[in-house]
Amino acid sequence: MTDLDSRLRAWRHDLHRRPEPAFAEHATSAYVAETLEAAGLDVVRGVGGTGVVASLTRGDGDRAIGLRADMDCLPLDEPGTRSHASRNPGFMHACGHDGHMAMLLGAAAVLAAEGGFDGTVRFVFQPAEEPGRGARAMLDDNLLVRFPVQAMYGLHNLPGVPAGHFLTRAGSIMAGEDNFEIRIRGRGGHAARPHMVVDPIVVGAEIVLALQTVVARNVDPALPAVVSCTDFSTDGVRNAIPGEVVIKGDTRSFDPGVGELIEDRIRRLCEGIGAAHGATCAVTYTHEFAPTVNDPACVAAAVEAAVAVAGEERVDPDCAPIMPSEDFGVFAEAVPACFAFLGNGTEPGRGGDPLHSRQYDFNDAVLRTGTDYYVTLARRVLTGDAPSGPATPG
């Protein structure tokens, strides 16, 4: 194991032991900032709350790119069987953000020590990816004005894909997510006298079934979409029909027009069904994650770097899009960008356990692969050998 491999593993394990949730990544961001400062980078803390941005310039080129990693964890208890298990009860790096940070720290260390590019690399460590709030917080803190870039690149591990394989595509790669809450108000009463009530459970059940028709009968079959009811709660008890039901759920789509259609149909169905039963329905619909849409020129650069690192046989340049969402999509709306996946492994216990599960662990075997990808990407984009996207708008 090389010195770099040892440092990558140590960084990843240190970060895994100290998981922190969205906008509370205080120890995490301090660790990241101190590591970057020790490598000789110009570091700014507190961007968008707990975010960190480090800049590294070599030569006299005026181009800049951003490389982004996420920092927050999930509210899960981790089994204490690993030597690097979480020491913060109730919190766990169950999505691999510890590995993402370690790979980007590795790239910063290599590029600071060896150079090999002409321009500026911004290392963007983003808070609050899991709730989809951190990217917007950084942009609202003038990220792209204070640290201008012509393109942004991100990388996320993906269990179920062979370790060290890369996947990406031009266009939509991850879906947008919207949330909804439907509050149905009827008139509660004794379970033995249903004729005296307006039963919101009946109304809610009809709404849940009706929502299954939105994708099946309203959305173009060529456009992917998902509508899921994920929670159904009442204020009733065993022998009393409730007066109120609350249904919660989420929707996924790649096209903003599809999201607007889904919202409109949910509102109309709820209002109509509620009125038919003499109940009232109030719908709250919120936009949580933007779709992640890759710029073709940035994808070309990312694919070239991935092929150089892993070989053509381990790179899929036109993978199928997936329905989960990523806060990186907000960056991709603001600047040309490419988001890619790095296979974490296929076997349970060796990188194949699902994201967001208590069994998950980032596969240390791919840390060097991701680091080499970032280094190669920065050098290729910032030497004129690969496209970096159009100039950042003023």
Q: What is the rounded CA–CA span in Å between residue 24 and residue 20?
A: 6
Contacts of residue 315, defined as CB under 8 A and 6 or more positions apart, other chains included, come to: 165, 166, 167, 303, 306, 307
Q: What is the rounded CA–CA span in Å between residue 126 and residue 334?
A: 15
Tokens representing 385? 């050998």
Q: Are 71 and 126 in contact (CB under 8 A)?
A: yes
> Which one of 129, 130, 178, 361 is the catalytic residue?
129
> Which one of 20, 70, 72, 316 is the catalytic residue?
72
**Full 3-state SS string of the chain:** CCHHHHHHHHHHHHHHHCCCCCCCCHHHHHHHHHHHHHCCCEEEEEECCCEEEEEEEECCCCCEEEEEEECCCECCCCCCCCCCCCCCCCCECCCCHHHHHHHHHHHHHHHHHHCCCCEEEEEEEECCCCCCCHHHHHHHCCHHHHCCCCEEEEEEEEECCCCCCEECCCEEEECEEEEEEEEEECECEECCCHHHCECHHHHHHHHHHHHHHHHHHCCCCCCCEEEEEEEEEECCECCEECCEEEEEEEEEECCHHHHHHHHHHHHHHHHHHHHHHCCEEEEEEEEEECCEEECHHHHHHHHHHHHHHHCHHHEECCCCCECCCCCHHHHHHHCCEEEEEEEEECCCCCCCCCCCCCCCCCCHHHHHHHHHHHHHHHHHHCCCCCCCCCCCCC
Q: Are 259 and 207 in contact (CB under 8 A)?
A: no
Tokens representing 85? 């298990």
> Would residue 255 show up in a list of annotated catalytic residues for this protein?
no
> Would residue 72 show up in a list of annotated catalytic residues for this protein?
yes
- Taking Cα atoms as reference points, which of 28, 110, 123, 128 lies closest to residue 70? 128
Query: Catalytic amino acids?
Result: 72, 129
